[in-house]
Chain A
């Protein structure tokens, strides 16, 4: 069971930039695992991450990261790494110097810092470019060196603002695998991304933001269940979709049933998924062979569309 000291807690947090709203009345309690921040441009994702890491201070409310306040960097960054969206680096640094200097600031001696630097650089596959100036790096390389710096000290919380931006597909899938591995090891990963199918593939939970407000949070399925105004879509693969359709229309909670384009399944919209699943057991006993049943719209994309609109979120 997780207590307040192994969670990231936002308690009624608001941030205003003068008259402009950053985020408002945010209450969150984030457990370990991968949590994705999803929302359109200006929804407050980066503000939330910057608040979490103490780069900005809340106008109102309190934040605790595993019991630590964000305005205590000397403690916070011993257990947190932040891969920011800022694409700027200290002047003249090579990739190696960027990671190594961070570790010296952390308090590591030369030997340990050197060792950890090379390990972090190896993990992001940048060994060949390590001694080149960052100013000459491509966007993907800059993204990777930031990731190396954020992970070099073995943090237990990793905050990643659009970490997959600029990465090629191979590195992207390697990075996603790395995230999954880190989360399995018990790490908190807070990830913002505008690529919804990737968010869907890696997230244990999502936080959906719009105009500075948290509009939904939790596991995708739980969030989907709470969206009452949009009937749940279920795809049933079966041998006789027509017969199945005629039977399920007897139930008042079935709103719509459409035979799938390939003729081998039925897409059903229902207002009460639990009762529908129960009814399906009876129908299956009457000569319809059901091969599979799967929710068709409990992914981030659908939830996002229902809550915020049909537009793809952008960074």
Chain B
């Protein structure tokens, strides 16, 4: 890789990191990310001194993670972070600053993606780690040590952090591409949300063309719709795929989407709407 590209990516990062971490526009991303932390902290305070149920808490964590954190918090957080990388600059009428610099548009896209990804991963993985600590905070130290070191604790934590990071990669590239393609980000966000939501109802082949499919496979605890639950008869359970397929599969999907986005950015014009 051309060494100039590295220094240009670093220059883009310097500009973008401040915007992604500290902009007022991104405040709701922090709210989404840290809302479960508040819930678990409150729960833990209430549970202090009560008879505890480790299995129940582990399932609660898995359910909140898959139903709220992955499908809503990270999803909409990535909408906020990644769609604004290009779309936000068009709205601010400042994208020409980058387009008038001697930088390949593909390098610009890479720099912006890395900036967005760094922000998303830092925010969401730090939150999930803190959520984990908060949920189990009402257990005594010895129980926690046993769970973390002799049980599944550390493995689960690493898995949740890993899935969170991969979710940021998967949703990040999808929303970066959507921000490049569409004028109105609400439309693609809604379409992708529906696509991800109906994932369970799709034929197993189509399920593979979604981010959530790979992420669910990597979660340490599977939560399947139980018999009798609403619409459970419509769900098609695709076999969870092993991590050595899911991780490269998701990364390959991300690379393909980024290549497509780069081709679009290469041809993108500056047309600020008056």
Binding site for B on A (CB under 8 A): 17, 50, 53-57, 71, 73-78, 82, 84, 86, 88-92, 98, 101-102, 104-107, 109
Contact = CB atoms under 8 A, between A and B. Distances in A.
Interface stretch (B92-100, B126-134, B192-200): B92-100
B102 A104 contact: no
Given A84-B96, A106-B102, A71 B266 contact: yes
B270 A55 contact: yes
A77 B8 contact: no
A55 B96 contact: yes
Contact of A101 (B11, B89, B102, B271): B11
Q: When A and B form their complex, which 3 residue pairs have the shortest distance between CB atoms, in order from nearest?
A: A77-B102, A104-B11, A88-B93
Interface string B99-135: 1111111010000000000000000000000000000
B101 A73 contact: yes
Contacts of A109: 7
A86 B96 contact: yes
A88 B94 contact: yes
Contacts of A101: 11, 14-15
Interface string B1-40: 0001001101110110011000100000000000000000
A54 B104 CA distance: 12
Given A56-B270, A86-B272, A104-B14, A91 B19 contact: yes
A104 to B, nearest CB: 4
A74 B101 CA distance: 7
Contact of A55 (B93, B99, B101, B103): B99
Contact of B7 (A71, A77, A84, A107): A107
A90 B270 CA distance: 15
B142 interface: no
Nearest to B270: A55
A188 B270 CA distance: 24
B269 interface: yes
B267 interface: yes
Contacts, number: 80
Given A17-B271, A89-B94, 9 more contacts: A55-B99, A56-B270, A71-B266, A74-B107, A75-B102, A77-B103, A89-B97, A101-B14, A104-B7
A17 B272 CA distance: 13
B94 A82 contact: no
Q: Which of A88, A98, A102, A107 has the most CB of B within 10 A?
A: A107
Contact of B103 (A57, A71, A73): A73
A92 B14 CA distance: 13
A105 B104 contact: no
Contacts of A86: 93, 96, 272
A73 B104 contact: yes
Contacts of A104: 7, 10-11, 14
Contacts of A17: 271
A90 B94 contact: yes
Interface in B16-70: 18-19, 23
A109 B11 CA distance: 10
Contacts of A92: 18-19
Contact of B97 (A50, A54, A71, A102): A102
B161 to A, nearest CB: 31
A92 B267 CA distance: 28
28 contacts: A17-B271, A55-B269, A56-B269, A56-B271, A57-B269, A73-B99, A73-B100, A73-B103, A74-B102, A74-B103, A76-B102, A77-B101, A77-B103, A82-B100, A86-B93, A88-B94, A89-B94, A90-B97, A91-B92, A91-B94, A101-B14, A102-B97, A104-B14, A105-B8, A105-B101, A105-B102, A106-B101, A109-B7
A85 to B, nearest CB: 10
Given A88-B92, A88-B94, A101-B14, A107 B102 contact: yes
A306 to B, nearest CB: 32
A45 to B, nearest CB: 16
Contacts of B272: 86
Contacts of B98: 105
Contacts of B270: 50, 55-56
Nearest to A87: B93
Contacts of B267: 57, 71
Nearest to A82: B100
A81 to B, nearest CB: 8
A73 B129 CA distance: 42
A92 B23 CA distance: 10
Contacts of B103: 73-74, 77, 105
Nearest to B3: A107
Contacts of A76: 102
A107 B4 contact: yes
Q: Which of B94, B96, B102, B272 has the most CB of A within 10 A?
A: B102
A104 B103 CA distance: 10
Given A55-B96, A107-B4, A78 B102 contact: yes
Contacts of A105: 8, 11-12, 98, 101-103
Nearest to A72: B104
Contacts of A107: 4, 7-8, 102
